[in-house]
Each structure stands twice: as C-alpha cells, then as structure tokens.
Structure 1
Amino acid sequence: MKKWFISAFLMMMAVTARADLVVEVTQGVDAPTPIAVVPFQATGLALNEDIAQIVSDDLGRSGFFKPMNRSNMLGTPSTEEQVFFRDWRVSGNDYMVIGHVAPAANGQVQASVELYDVLKERKVWSETVTGNSNNLRDVAHYISDQVFEKLTGLKGAFSTRIVYVTAKMNTPGNFTYKLQMADSDGARPRTILQSKEPILSPAWSQDGSKLAYVSFESSRPAIYVQELATGQRQKVQTFRGLNGSPAWSPDGSRLALVLSKDGNPEVYILTLATGQLDRVTHHYGIDTEPTWAPDGQSILFTSDRAGLPQIYSLNLPTRELKRLTYEGKYNSRGRLTQDGRFLTMVHQDGSGFHIAVQDLKTNRLDILTSSSLDESPTIAPNGSIIMYATKKGGKGVLAGVSLDGRVRFTMPNGDGDVREPAWSPYLQ
C-alpha cells in the first residue's frame, strides 16, 4: 500500500483513553453579543440540573455570545413584571433570558422561558417546554437552540449528539476501546460498544437512529450497523482485506464503503435491503474515505490517482468524475455542509496537517486551524462548526472551529486520547 494510506490508517488506530469531555472556548467572534441568562426559579420541586446554567454555557461555547456572570446580576427576575430593563441595560446586556420551572403531570416538569431584547425593551420569544425531570439537559439544550436561532438566524445544534472513539491502555499493547456517545457539549457520555480491538470510522444514519462503524473484534476489520435504541448489531461486510470508511446515503438505504477484496482499495455501494454490492471506482490508485453529497446523486472520495491524495466527486448516474481540490499536495477526508456549498478537509502545508474549507462556488480555500496534527473533520448539522481530532499537550483531544475560522474551542480530557468524532444529524 501507498505510504500515505498506511500512515493515515495507523494514526486512526493509535488511540488511547479519555475522561468526560469539557468544552473550553479558546476564541470567539470579535464582538460576542452580551446576554444574561438569569437563574430559573423553581417551584415545588428540587432540580437535579441547573437549566439556566446549561443554557448560558451552551451560548457561551458557541462563541457568538458573552453570558453575564451570575455574581454580577442585580436580581433574578422570573416574570416580565419583575424585569427592569434599565438595570440590565446599564449592566451591558443586549438580551436576557428568564424562566420558571414547575411540576407538570405524570412526573414531568414545565419550564416557562422568555427571551427579551433589553435595548428595545420587548419580548422576542417565549415558550413553555415540557420534559422529563431526569432529562433536564434536553430541556436546556432545546431552549439554547431556540435562543440561538432567534438571535442569529441559524438553527441551533445544541440538542444534537456526537460519537467518538476512545481507548484505555491497561498494560503495554493491551487496550480497551470504546465507542462513546455524548451531548454536543460532551456531557452525559455513554458507551455504545466496548472492545479489546480497535474501533474506527463511526457514521450516523440520516435519521440518527443507527451507527455504522468498523470493528476489529473478529481479528480483521468488519463493518457493523448498530441500532441505538436497542443495541442490536449486524455485521454487513467482512471480506478478506480492508473493510472500511462506511458512509450512509441521505435516504439511509445504502452504505458507501471501501473494500480491498479485489486487491486494491476501491469505493463500493452496498444496498442494505438486498445486500447488492456495486463497485463505483476503478483505478490502480487508492480510493478511500467516501462521503455522500446531500442530494444522494454524487459521492466524494479521497484518491491518490494523480500521485498524491486529493478529493474527487463521482456523479453516480453518469459516472462523471471531477477533481475538486488542487491547492496543496495533500487534501483528504472531505465532508460537505448540508447545502453542498462548502467542502471541509484535512489539508497539508509546510507546517503540518490542518482543517481547511473550500467554497465550491468560488474554489477559494481557507485554512482554519494552526495546529499541525488535525484529522477527522465532522460538521454540525447547521453548518456552523467543524469538529475534529487534534493533539494538545501530547494527548488526543477533540476541537472545533467555525466555518469562518472566528470561533474556536477544545474539548480536553484528563485520561488519554480521543479520536474519530462524528456529529449527529438533527435528531427526531
């Protein structure tokens, strides 16, 4: 195999473990919008989560907002009558969120929340949100999504999930690998799969109900599909040689994947209902890392058929092949935003491997990160943030950068490396 392919493969396998992920914003927009998220008043119940704090943290992590410190608040209003706009305006806030939480039927809770424009002294949005008392983070993330959309015009993605791969070294050469799923902020992690062998390339189905991934548990790489609700798993491919890089079609009926069963890594399409397997690339070069265009008519993939890794697009009905990347000698792991306009990738220059984005309308390429070992980009479903794996202090961590490069964050952990992030679609 070609040297670049082997190196990339080994980088993916060299994972070692993690503690809970915690997002730290390292850079925001030049002038984040000041907002006060007032502690919610609770009546008749004891809450196991601070909804207002979660909302404040969500908005602060986005980089678009600067939440007010609670210790500087002059009061804690929970109704419109208790709001004195002058006080909040003098405190430097453009917007404020207030709320009240009370018991509801069947053991649930109701959070009544209101968003105000402090400068114009008017209500922007209000809603009563009902949720389970054991899942108040879901209520909080929903509120964050609504506030974010009302004030930025972008659909919020705080209620989505991420999956990622970790491993813990027990003794030299002996690891415990885990496929983990967590909230988009890294909270509430849970284990989807645990194995003594490597796990690679997790990918979400478009409806968010299933994951496809590669596991070495049977001593060689095999592709599995797992139902998240039931945990039921199915091995879908296990040919001799490479079985890798599964990617769901937008309608969920097919998987694009990479097989070397004919001697060379090529892109295939598997129809899940029938098991039909169609080979769509035919070249002596290495073709890998497929991803679907949002319309399901094209597949993007990485190939070294021109000498070094670049990203190509293959129209499936016509089989027309188009090279998309030309700038730089190495571009790989292409992923498209949901509107199909922007292509994110791993781009190599003289200082290392970075996350870059290319506008497919203008072909302009912008390098978004300055770290040197960046890999595995995945895009939030609203197209605002790219999450990726990188190194910090000698350990693998997840990090994020906005599509325009102005917002940055890291998700450090205290117990080893984290790799292979995949951001969920909007969940039903």
Structure 2
Amino acid sequence: MQSDHQHRRGAWSRRSFLVKPSVAALGAAWAGSALAQFRVEISGVGATQLPIGIVRFRDEQKGPQPVSAIVRADLERSGLFRNLDTNGIALDENAKPVMGDWRAKGADALLAGSVMRLADGRFDVRYTLWDVVKGTNIGGGALAVPVADLRLAAHRVADDVYEKLTGEKGVFSTRIAYVSKIGSRHTLWIADADGEGAQSALASPEPIISPAWSPNGKELAYVSFESRKAVVYVQDVASGARRAVANFRGTNSAPAWSPDGQQLAATLSRDGISQLYVMSRTGDNVRRLTSSNAIDTEAAWSADGRSIYFVSDRGGSPQIYRMSATGGSPDRITFAGSYNISPALSPDGRSMAFISRVNGAFRLHVMDLASGTVTALTDTNDDESPSFAPNGRLIIYATRLQGRDVLMTTTVDGKIKALLPAPQADMREPVWGPFGR
C-alpha cells in the first residue's frame, strides 16, 4: 500500500521541509496560547482596511458565545477590516452614537447590538450598523436562534456587515471540511469557516482523503481506505448516510463535483494506469475522459462546467492541463517550473490556485487565467490542498508549522494570512463549502 503522504497527493508524493520564519512566528504565538477561541493570528498587512468599531453586545455575557468577539474575528480574518479598540464602550442597537466622537477615533463604521434570552430558551440577537463618515444608520437585523446556533448567528451578523460595507457576500456562515490525523486515527470533520464547532463525519483507522463538497452543500464526496483500498464515497452531511460510488478494481480517487451537482469526475485505474473518468452522482454511467500513457489525476471543474482542469505527467513532469468536460485534446496551462499540481478554480472562473514546487519547496500560487500571470502567495515550504471560499476572496490551504500540519487562510493577494484553530492533531485536506447550510 502507498504511504499516507502519497495518498494525500493522489499520484504525487508529498515532501517535508522546514517552515519559513514568517509562519514560524505565527506558530510561536499558537504554541504558547493554544490559539484561544476568538483570537485571530494574522500575518501581513492589507493595503486597504476599513476601520470599524465593534462594541460588546449588551448582555452577551449571559449567553454561551461572545457574539461581538466572533463578529470581530470574522471581519479581521477577511483582511478587509481593521478593528478599533472600543475600550469597553457600552452601546446597543437602539443607541444614538455621537458620530463625531467615533470619527475622532478613526472609525468608518460602527456596529452595536444586544443578546437576550427568550422565554422559550432561544436567544434574540439584534444589531445596528452605522456609517460613521456619513453619520447614517445603514441597517441591521434580528435573529432568534436556539442556543446551539448562537455562534452561527454571530457569523450571519458578520456576513451582513461584510455585505453592507463591501457589496459582496460574506462567507463567515459557510463551512469547511478537513481531515485530521492523530496516531493512526483519521477523522473527517465539518466545521464553521473559522475552524470552530467541528463535528465528526467519519472516523477510521485507515486514511481518508480528498473531501469535496457538493454544490448545494448537502453532501461530501471523499476517498476512504477503510476496506484497505481506495474507494470513493458520497455522504449525506445531515444524516451521515453514505454510498460507495466508485469501488472498481485498482484505485478510485480524487472525486470532483460538476457545478450542477449531477456528475462526479474521479481518477480510476480500473483499466490500468490512472486516468480521468466522469460518472453520474450515483456512480452510474461511467465514461472515460482521458486516454494517455501518463498519470492523469486531480480533476477540477471550471465554474461554468464546460472544462475540466487536471494534473498529468504526460510531458515528463506533473503539470496542469485543461480539456473539454466532454473529452478531447487537452491544453497545457502551467509552464513555469517542473512540478505544478492541485488546481482549484475560483468561483468567478477567472483564477486558478495551485501548488508549485519552487527550489524544493511546495508553495501556493494563483494564476490569472486570462493573462497567464502567476503570483506566489506564500513563502512556506510544504503547502497543499488549496480551496477557494465561495465569494472567491479567500483561499484555505494546509501547510506545516513547527512539524505539524495546520490550516490557514489567505487573501487572494497573499497579504493577509490567518491560522485556524489547531487542536492536537495534524490537519489536512481542507475544502471550503458553498454558500448556505
């Protein structure tokens, strides 16, 4: 059987190197504090950040979640906001703040609210957002949620603030999936986008790799080795019910959903060497997509569903290619460097994140597909598994920090990076889910 690290790359094996000082600095803080729940470890400074004051919500201490702190951490992690010190100021959604005072503090926006426990045990979260520069109330909202959803309510408040101030949808109430490894135990987790609130979807003594969200967020495809071979499963997120959709002779790996959720691309070796195949979401109507004498793997659909990007060593080294989703001759996409893998397409179809080996180090890059311009987003040594947020503004990926695998997010310009909470486990294979849950 292949090693676990080989499984994680599909056909391409992973290397281990030392971590660069820029991320090691984050690790020092992480190691010392175990990353307190709402502390955001940020690396880098954004060129433009909107200064916002977020005051502590009235009576939030009476609930189990510090709502304002969650909102503050969400907005900071996006890289677009700079949180101002509110110095214990008490306001709620009905306040009439003195805008001149907040302008003097340098604020462009102000958020205040309250949290109240209702008679039926739910919590009522109310908030108001002000444009300090214009001196106007720009809206707010109210959410009545069960106690288990109080954290989700905070993320939804952050989403609303983000959208009101940027004009784009926020992703704080979305989810991620990833795999952890402790000893020989592998666990597939589903968590909030900030890494908190993780719930186990599958645990196994054998490797679990390549999780992939369905476009509607209701299912996860993944590869499990629980039967001592690679098998592709699709699992219902809510119920946990699952089915094997690819259990052919040889290996079955790297599932990827079509944008309409009706098809899966996968790498199968049932006819010999690993090639790309397309099948229905139930595993029926299997059709071979590539026919080469090389290893073809790691399929990724374009946003419009017309093309499939994949990795092949048909040119002598792993490179990324693009072909029609119906088959045909592929075009090579990557040319710089001798080792480019793990394509991930942005939701708007304009960019591709991928991993490139640079002087022996695996680093996250992004390519503008129209111009072919490639930008390095990291200077670390062991990055893997990039995945775009559904608004295309952030990328989640795995890297190594002080000898362990951790998850990080980065803005698409690479200027702001955030370390997600790191339990005592290696965290791998992150994938960002769609809008909605």
Which residue of the partner structure matches residue 40 of structure 1? 57
Select which of 353, 357, 369 maps to 1:360: 369
2:373 and 2:400 map into 1 onto residues whose CA distance is: 27
Say yes or no: does 1:148 pair with 2:187. Answer: no
Select which of 71, 81, 85 maps to 1:55: 71
Q: Which moved more, 1:393-402 or 1:82-91?
A: 82-91
Q: Is the 8 A contact 1:21 1:186 kept in 2?
A: no
Equivalent positions of 1:178-217 (< 5 A) are 178-217=187-226
Deviation track 1:304-338 (CA, whole Å, cap 9, x = no partner) reads 11111111111134624221111221111111111
1:389 and 1:81 map into 2 onto residues whose CA distance is: 43
Aligned-residue offset at 1:12: 6.6
Deviation track 1:185-216 (CA, whole Å, cap 9, x = no partner) reads 11111111000111000000000000011111
Select which of 26, 42, 60 maps to 2:43: 26
Aligned-residue offset at 1:5: 7.1
Structure 1: which 5+ residue stretches go unaligned?
170-174
1:363 and 1:13 map into 2 onto residues whose CA distance is: 27
- Aligned-pair identity in percent equals 38
Aligned-residue offset at 1:351: 4.9
Alignment size in residue pairs: 417
Equivalent positions of 1:222-301 (< 5 A) are 222-273=231-282, 275-301=284-310
Equivalent positions of 1:311-326 (< 5 A) are 311-317=320-326, 319-326=328-335
Which residue of the partner structure matches residue 122 of structure 2? 108
Q: Which moved more, 1:81-90 or 1:176-185?
A: 81-90
1:255–1:317 distance in 2 versus 1, CA, 3 Å: closer
User: What secondary structure, in the 3-state scheme, does the structure 2 residue paired with 1:41 have?
Assistant: coil
Structure 2: which 5+ residue stretches go unaligned?
17-30
Deviation track 1:195-243 (CA, whole Å, cap 9, x = no partner) reads 0111000000000000011111011111111101111011111222211
Deviation track 1:328-378 (CA, whole Å, cap 9, x = no partner) reads 211111111111110110012225111111101111111111001111111
Deviation track 1:80-105 (CA, whole Å, cap 9, x = no partner) reads 54412222222222211011233457
User: What secondary structure, in the 3-state scheme, does the structure 1 residue paired with 2:106 have?
Assistant: coil
Residue type of the alignment partner of 1:306: G
User: What secondary structure, in the 3-state scheme, does the structure 2 residue paired with 1:135 have?
Assistant: helix
Q: Which moved more, 1:300-309 or 1:127-136?
A: 127-136
TM-score by length of 1: 0.91
TM-score by length of 2: 0.89
Which residue of the partner structure matches residue 401 of structure 2? 392
1:315 and 1:138 map into 2 onto residues whose CA distance is: 39
Say yes or no: does 1:121 pair with 2:135. Answer: yes
1:292 and 1:183 map into 2 onto residues whose CA distance is: 24
Aligned-residue offset at 1:411: 2.3
Q: In angstroms, what is the RMSD of aligned CA positions? A: 2.6
Residue type of the alignment partner of 1:417: D
Aligned-residue offset at 1:106: 4.7
1:196–1:324 distance in 2 versus 1, CA, 3 Å: same
Aligned-residue offset at 1:177: 0.8
Residue type of the alignment partner of 1:128: A
1:21–1:271 distance in 2 versus 1, CA, 3 Å: farther
